Structure 1
Amino acid sequence: MSVRREPWPEGTPSWVDCQVDDPIKESEFYAGLFGWEIRGAGEDAGGYLMAMKDGESVAGIGPKPQPGMLSVWTTYLAAGDADAVAERVVRAGGQVMMPPFDVMDAGRMFVAADSTGGMFGVWQARAHHGATVFNEHGTYCWNELHTRQFEAAEKFYADVFGYTYEHVGDGTSMRYAMFTPPDAERAVGGINDDTLMPGEPMPSYWLTWFQYDDVDEGLARAGGLGAAIMMPAIDSPVGRMAIVAAPQGEAFGLLDTNVRVGEM
């Protein structure tokens, strides 16, 4: 099991959580799907719940900060100094939607929109470093931005976090950039050009993928728990994958990296 006991390098997806209308009800869905143990984060946490796997933290489930907002999964990028990153976000053309604030002794965070409108969080670790288990069944394994402003997104995240990119795809049916922060040894996430995707255009958004050993079984289980299938299971060079919407509407991906078909 991959376990991390120290802060993540700046710019690395270090935590994910979902904001929903009824965290307790939605936690029952995720417990049934991933086998998570759900714990309260304490009286001062405002109803925030911690999802655990084998005693290790993997994700959060919390109430929406404002009624009427969409239910979403949020990707948090690690920061050594949240306030300094917030300044770079503004200089790069983004917006700080929720200014930096302390989360008890756990860390310091803020929420921002990049220059294309994609919403993300930034986490400066203190007592809580982020996810301690990852890339395992029932834990997040990849995070990617979907946008129709591909070049602008690349420039924004390079300016803010110093990302370098490795490009994959033929440029016609797929254009994708895998990003690596300066202090990381490998790519830790991606940016997808949604202008090449079929269907109605969507605003920029971050998508969280969870490792699921046997995606087809996962789809059946998710459906039985009340989820809707947004993209049926398909094979790819990175694994067998599918996208679902949980009962309260937040979308996420299921990915089995053990089943890979074809070349990049």
Structure 2
Amino acid sequence: MSFYQSLAAWEYVTEHATDFAWGGGTQDYVLALKEGEAGAGIVTPPPDMSTGWVAYVEVNDVDATAVLTETLAGEVLRPPFDVPGVGRNALLRDPNGATIGVAMSRHNFPVPRRQFGNEVYLSADRSFPRDFYARLFDWEFSKPQVDENHSRNTIAVQGQIVAATWDDSPLDNLSSRWLPMIKVIDPLGSLRSVPDLVGVKLGQMSDAHVPQDLLFLEDADGELVCLTGA
């Protein structure tokens, strides 16, 4: 956790659950905050789940979304479950194999705009399951922007851009996945200015819809993340 504390000025608060949503029983978990906004939860996943970041999409009906997922050639990794004080969630897998969460929130926490930017989807084989997401979430897609290096789209909800997709990856041997876009003052400068930072720069992209180049790197635990300018 010191990686993100040094890189992005995150603070941490330990919470205690008596009926832990990710496996049951009592367990402590960590909330990551920035300037009072809680934007991420850090938990130890059950043995049958892989580690990594999970992006969540707010929906009106988690159970109906899970049912629809399976009719669209997706997979339900974890059936709908309640998180006390938070809402109802489920974990899904799209036809490319990328994990995504859905949530129906029952809280008034603000959207963590200081901590995160839009989500980023990287595809390993130059394909994005556009029809799957359009039918599952009623997302709107921009006309693909193609240049000699990248093919990309933006995704909007009611006209507001919430995510970006790249149909080719700057990284080799990568499975398709959603990544958080973590905000820092200066992505490249952050890596240079933290002498004890354990991380590896893996690739870089430019895009008109973000304020600076996107920097992809592995964190101290080997998980892939994306940095952008705050």
| Same topology, TM > 0.5 | yes
Structure with bigger helix share is: 1
Deviations 1:113-151 (A, max 9, x none): 01111111111101265x5321x3xx1102122222625
| Equivalent in the alignment of 1:51 | 32
Alignment of 1:66-105 (within 5 A): 66=47, 70-105=50-85
Residues 93 and 115 in structure 1, CA contact (< 8 A), matched pair in contact too: yes
| Equivalent in the alignment of 1:3 | none
| Equivalent in the alignment of 2:184 | 212
Residues 96 and 111 in structure 1, CA contact (< 8 A), matched pair in contact too: yes
| Equivalent in the alignment of 2:141 | 165
What is the CA-CA distance between 1:31 and the residue it aligns to? 1.8
Deviates more, 1:106-115 or 1:140-149: 140-149
| Equivalent in the alignment of 1:226 | 198
Structure 1 residues 28, 36: CA separation in 2 closer, same or farther (over 3 Å shift)? Answer: same
Q: Match for 1:110 among 90, 95, 102? A: 90
**Given residue 112 of structure 2, which amino acid in structure 1 is its aligned partner?**
V
Identity over the aligned pairs, expressed in percent? 24
**Given residue 191 of structure 1, which amino acid in structure 2 is its aligned partner?**
T
The separation in 1 between residues aligned to 2:83 and 2:65, in whole angstroms, is 17
| Equivalent in the alignment of 1:188 | 162
Instruction: Please say if 1:133 is aligned against 2:106.
Output: no
3-state SS in 1 of match to 2:117: strand
RMSD over equivalenced CA pairs, Å: 2.3
3-state SS in 2 of match to 1:187: strand
Higher relative contact order (CA 8 A, sep 6+): 1
Instruction: Please say if 1:242 is aligned against 2:218.
Output: no
What is the CA-CA distance between 1:221 and the residue it aligns to? 4.5
| Equivalent in the alignment of 1:150 | 127
Give the total of aligned pairs.
Answer: 220
Deviations 1:1-23 (A, max 9, x none): xxxxxxxxxxxxxxxxxxxxxxx
Unmatched segments (≥5 aa) in structure 1: 1-26, 258-264
What is the CA-CA distance between 1:173 and the residue it aligns to? 2.7
Structure 1 residues 222, 167: CA separation in 2 closer, same or farther (over 3 Å shift)? Answer: farther
